[in-house]
Amino acid sequence: MHIVVVGSGYVGLVSGASFADFGHSVVCVDKDAGKIAKLEAGVMPIFEPGLDQLVETNCRAGRLAFTTDLAKSISGADVVFLAVGTPSRRGDGHADLTFVYQAAREVAEAATGSLVVATKSTVPVGTGDEVERIVRQARPDLEITVASNPEFLREGSAIEDFKRPDRIVIGANDPRSREAMGEVYRPLYLNQPPIMFTSRRTSELIKYAANAFLATKITFINEIADLCEQVGANVQEVARGIGLDNRIGSKFLHAGPGYGGSCFPKDTLALVKTAQDHASPLRIVETVAAVNDQRKRAMARKVIQACGGSVRDKTIALLGLTFKPNTDDMRDAPSIAIVTALEDAGARVRGFDPEGMQHARAMMPDLQLCDSAYSCVEGADAMVIVTEWNEFRALDLKRVKALLAEPVVVDLRNIYRPEDMARLGFHYQSIGRPSLPVAES
């Protein structure tokens, strides 16, 4: 099949390269000429494990190409995926659909024959109807049908998620779209992932409902963690104890500093807005978004408390700045709120991240960036683990203790064991687990 992917951001690039790897012929389009030039030279615009090899292999095999010329790429296309951005509209939290509608119009105008336009971008219910109206108006002479095909990729494991999905959701209101989309994913049938065909509107809502549910699960365990701290219980054991119930499941029950990233914060807000517009408010999701926002700032208060009630003129070392490991993405990362609150409280804040430094520099100009975890903690009054990168899981803790001015560690991801840290002489605070007194040496 000849597939065109419009938008070579995170979703577009991973999807395009993976479709090419299935054996389809794929062209990825983007308006950003600089990005396309880099991609052609094999330089990835994002950090995603395995993506550079996947792109290289498929370009070399002649199945994957990049261009800024949308019109030319559309000629002969069977399916065109829209994978452009849907940022939060400034001021009201609605998803901004300008890029989606613009891309749909351009695709229709350039079309040379019948094709399927499939939306991969996360779009509110009813967007497919508007896309259909736009393409019909632009090209009444052609049969252009519109499908919804949401992605459920996690940053950091996107390629694996694409190749071994829990499910594929295809929203299509006509047999042509259903057939073409089935053909796109046919190479995956060997792995037998459940493929769910449904209506376009249902498919659009599935994506938001999935993200809102996962955000709720995380926020639930985060609040249980707070309660654990008050009553002397252990949130990891609570999570295990409830997660073993198959109806609940053990995933997404890791308490932490609050969720961030390019999806959960934006999508929960957009869903809340859609629900309000339809006079069917989602109060649980409204509360989840508010609680998660407050939580990020509350993490700074936790650090201040661990430092004896004040961080004025103290140096705080943050390990991990991205919203999760294995990505360079800083969007809505808890570190941003934590840095701001600590700086407001008078602290000098330093940070280190294995991949996120470039974005961190642009977003937090006052943050002093260090070139390793050890140089970051040297002379600091506290070390705060914000993101659970693997390299922070196996730090030489004796060396860390010798480098720190004060042996204070705040572990917002629960990657160390309180008993080990107490034995090593750290004043150690984590999330939802009892702190132990420092062992006598």
Active site residues: 263
Contact region with ligand UDX (CB under 6 A), list: 71-79, 260-268, 305-313, 393-401: 260-268
Ranges within 207-246 binding ligand UDX (CB under 6 A): 211, 214, 218
Least spacing, CB of residue 311 vs ligand UDX, in Å: 24
Q: Which of 260, 351, 354, 418 binds ligand UDX (CB under 6 A)?
A: 260
By CB under 6 A, residue 355 contacts ligand UDX: no
Using the contact rule CB under 6 A, the part of the chain among 109-117, 189-197, 224-232, 255-263 near ligand UDX is: 255-263
Could you say which of 16, 45, 256, 432 contacts ligand UDX (CB under 6 A)?
Answer: 256
In the complex, minimum distance from the CB of residue 293 to ligand UDX, in angstroms, rounded to a whole number: 13
Question: What angle do helix axes 200-231 and 264-277 make, rounded to 10 degrees?
Answer: 120
Contact status: 264 vs ligand UDX (CB under 6 A): yes
Nearer to ligand UDX, 263 or 404 (CB): 263
Q: Does residue 12 contact residue 120 with C-beta atoms inside 8 Å?
A: yes
Which residues in the 131-160 window bind ligand UDX by CB under 6 A? Answer: 151-155
Binders of ligand UDX among 294-323, rule CB under 6 A?
323
Helix (H) or strand (E) holding 5: strand 2-6
As a whole number of angstroms, the distance between CA 335 and CA 10 comes to: 21
Segment 174-213, which members bind ligand UDX (CB under 6 A)?
211
Q: Per the structure block, which two tokens stand in for 238?
A: 């609570």
Q: How far apart are alpha carbons 426 and 383 in whole angstroms?
A: 10
Tell me the sheet residues that pair with 317: 350, 383
Residue 289 interacts with ligand UDX (CB under 6 A)?
no
Of 25 and 387, CB closest to ligand UDX: 387
Closest residue to ligand UDX: CB criterion: 263
The smaller minimum CB distance to ligand UDX, of residues 82 and 115, is found at 82
Spatial distance between the Cα atoms of 94 and 272, rounded to a whole number of angstroms: 9
Shortest reach from residue 164's CB to ligand UDX, in Å: 13
In the complex, minimum distance from the CB of residue 260 to ligand UDX, in angstroms, rounded to a whole number: 4
d(CA 107, CA 78): 12
**259 in contact with ligand UDX (CB under 6 A):** yes
In this complex, which beta carbon is closest to ligand UDX, that of residue 233 or of residue 422? Answer: 233
In terms of Cα–Cα distance, which of 118, 131, 117, 121 is closest to 85? 121
Residue type, 379: G
Pick 45 or 256: Cβ nearer ligand UDX = 256
Number of shown-chain residues binding ligand UDX (CB under 6 A): 19
**β-strand 168-172 against 144-148: which pairing, if any?**
antiparallel
- Secondary structure of residue 376 in the 3-state scheme: helix
Q: How far is the CB of 211 from ligand UDX (least distance, A)?
A: 6
Least Å from the CB of residue 325 to ligand UDX:
8
Q: How far apart are CA 151 and CA 273, in angstroms?
A: 21
- Distance from C-alpha of 199 to C-alpha of 184, rounded to nearest angstrom: 18
Of 431, 432, 420, 419, the residue nearest 395 (C-alpha):
420
Between CA 433 and CA 267 the distance in angstroms is 30
Strand partners, 148: 119, 171
Collapsing DSSP to helix, strand or coil, 217 comes out as helix
Q: Give the nearest distance from C-beta 154 to ligand UDX in angstroms.
A: 4
CB of 224 to ligand UDX, least distance (A): 12
Length of the chain: 441
Tell me which of 117, 169, 180, 253 binds ligand UDX, using CB under 6 A.
253
Choosing from 186, 252, 297, 422, the residue that interacts with ligand UDX (CB under 6 A) is: 252
Rounded distance, CA 240 to CA 250, Å? 7
Query: Is 263 among the residues that bind ligand UDX (CB under 6 A)?
Result: yes
Side chain identity, residue 139: R
* Residue ranges binding ligand UDX (CB under 6 A): 151-155, 211, 214, 218, 252-254, 256, 259-261, 263-264, 323-324
